Amino acid sequence: MYIDTHCHMDFPDFDQDRKEVVENAARNGVSYIINIGIDTGSSSFSVEMARENSIFKAVVGIHPSEVGDADSRTMKMISKLAKEDNVVGIGETGLDFHRGREFERKQKDFLLMHIQLAGFLGLPLVVHQRDSRDEIIGLFEKEKLPGKVVFHCFGGDPELAAYCRDKGFYISFTGIITFGKAEDVRKSCSEYPGERIMAETDAPFLAPEPFRGKRNDPSKISYVVEKISEARKEEPAICGKRVFENSREFFKI
């Protein structure tokens, strides 16, 4: 059994065959799909999918790259959605300076609001970090964080891995772990506490080998879990069961 802890089935990439993709995932052992919001529209869509199909659970929030047009009303909508029964987390939120720092202050403000919302509701926080390690660590050191935090799509940064380990955070691996040149990602996976590792597709992005460059989908989560077990030199069944239970425990499903 598998749980895809981070994907975007609401994206237009799936508009033509969303139902078939979900059915195929279920046939391939996927028990739950955690659909992650990036703005109010996708967060609402995630909640609606979770209402209609029990395989879905929703995480609601504003991606750091989407804060440009966001305001106080945006967070009011996210706060309202977060109280829905099938919402299991807040995010994805964080800091992303890959395309510049025009909205750095606003990204930080929205990250703080997500942290506060997650703490108030007792929900885990799903964190996106790109080209912002030092800034996000600096911010986290000043804040009271919710009880559970995951850095999704973990990229293998040893300093960030050490920080996450010290803080008791979870980290989640994508299809990147299967890429030939991703030795740093596999090394981080091999050294991180096994009880705090999860797997995700980040679909439609980051399809694992041998599907690299094609549209990703939740049925391919097995390739990520297999590579996690290989990196950790563990029996696939044992490693897979632990990753599954980690995910259930983190999201309380």
Supply the pLDDT for residue 50: 98
State the Cα–Cα distance between residues 182 and 200, nearest whole angstrom.
16
State the Cα–Cα distance between residues 253 and 250, nearest whole angstrom.
8
CATH 3.40.50.300 matches 2-251: no
State the Cα–Cα distance between residues 79 and 152, nearest whole angstrom.
21
Q: Stretch 147-158: mean pLDDT, rounded?
A: 97
Q: Stretch 144-151: mean pLDDT, rounded?
A: 98
Provide the pLDDT confidence category of residue 5 given band limits of 50, 70 and 90.
Answer: very high
Which sequence spans correspond to the domains of the chain?
2-251
**pLDDT-above-70 percentage for the chain:** 100
What does the pLDDT look like over 71-126, one tens digit per residue?
Answer: 999 999 999 999 999 999 999 999 999 999 999 999 999 999 999 999 999 999 99
Supply the pLDDT for residue 81: 98
